[in-house]
Amino acid sequence: MKRYLILEDGSIFVGEGFGAPFTTTGEIVFNTGMSGYQETITDQSYNGQIITFTYPLIGNYGINRDDFESIVPTCKGIVVHEAARRASNWRDQISLDEFLKAKKIPGITGIDTRALTKRIRSRGTMKGSIMDAADEHAFDQLKALVLPKNQVQQVSTSQAYPSPDVGRNIVVVDFGLKHSILRELSRRNCNITVVPYNITAEEILDLDPDGVMLTNGPGDPTDVPEAITMIQGIQGKIPIFGICLGHQLFALANGCTTYKMRFGHRGFNHPVREIATGRIDFTSQNHGYAVKKASIDKDQLIITHEEINDETIEGLRHRFYPALSVQFHPDAAPGPHDANHLFDEFMEMIDAFQAKNNSKLKHQF
């Protein structure tokens, strides 16, 4: 079945349809990972986006039960050069095509993804549509489309829920979390409570957490003002660790500004330098916004990490409060585990904060 991918700049790419047989529209982006397509498709940070995979063969190891980053993916579609006709992997349960049909996600294969990626890199991220017929009215409709501003609201949990254990009590604020963040906290025996994006500082303090995790999520961080207010209300009272969107929100809560990148960072081959040590980590990333370097108040925040290729801000730490954030995903999934140690640093920060508070209490008596 012939299918078309059209872009708002007037470009048309012709391929074959697979996955769900629907017309779809969203922001088109590209991911440079060589594997990990299941984790990518189910990552809620891709909410509302059409994902172009730059690796030429996608679907060759099928879909398995272990690599989901969410139960209900919310990306709008996928674009590949070649969709594998047959999967070969001992964990394979269903094919990529069957999975996309079940989740109502359309796909298009047979596209020159190199040419498409070059176009996105040169002209910037833009709106696109996957459809069965392309005409001038489709382009008019695409140009008139206004992308939603409530993306975090669409993917965040509406009710708090627990993942019980006996260790440190961690509140995870869900802006579109990846399950791999919960897995890393569970490996450290944390007692987890996942809460909605619009929880207040007072409600978090009532849960008496040892630490707060600000997760990844989709869209523009300035569209989540309630989260900025919440972070300002808990900062200094509880240790904080922000990842991806959580990093951007932490920066905004401390007076920084953010900007939309030309085509973002999406993949897991992004080299990041830890400034204090010079250590280089290859990291998993998925974001279209970044913190503006000139806006950082260096009397309040320390820049801890930077991206080697374009020198974007990749990490911050507060000078006076127990709080840190990174733009990349230390949980990887997919990607290298170079930065996994940051979860341990978060645990150590919690323990140090509690020891300091306990010492103050002893001196009072």
Task: Name the residues annotated as catalytic.
Answer: 244, 329, 331
Q: Is 361 flagged in the annotation as binding?
A: no
The answer to whether 288 is annotated as binding is yes
292 closest CA partner among 300, 277, 303, 280: 303
Which residue is it, tokens 């498709």? 41
Is 36 annotated in a binding site? The answer is no
Pairing status of strand 191-195 against strand 161-163: antiparallel
- Which single residue is written with the structure tokens 């190891």? 61
217 is in an annotated binding site: yes
Question: 252 φ, ψ to 5°?
Answer: -60, -35
Asked whether the beta carbons of 265 and 287 are under 8 A apart, the reply is: yes
Q: 137: which residues sit within 8 A by CB, 6+ positions away?
A: none
Is 61 annotated as a binding-site member? Answer: no
Cis peptide before 334 (omega within 30 of 0): yes
- Residue 245 assigned as binding residue: yes
Question: Helix, strand or coil for residue 216?
Answer: coil
- d(CA 238, CA 322) in angstroms, rounded, equals 7
Specify binding-site residues for L-glutamine. 45, 217, 219, 245, 248, 286, 288-289
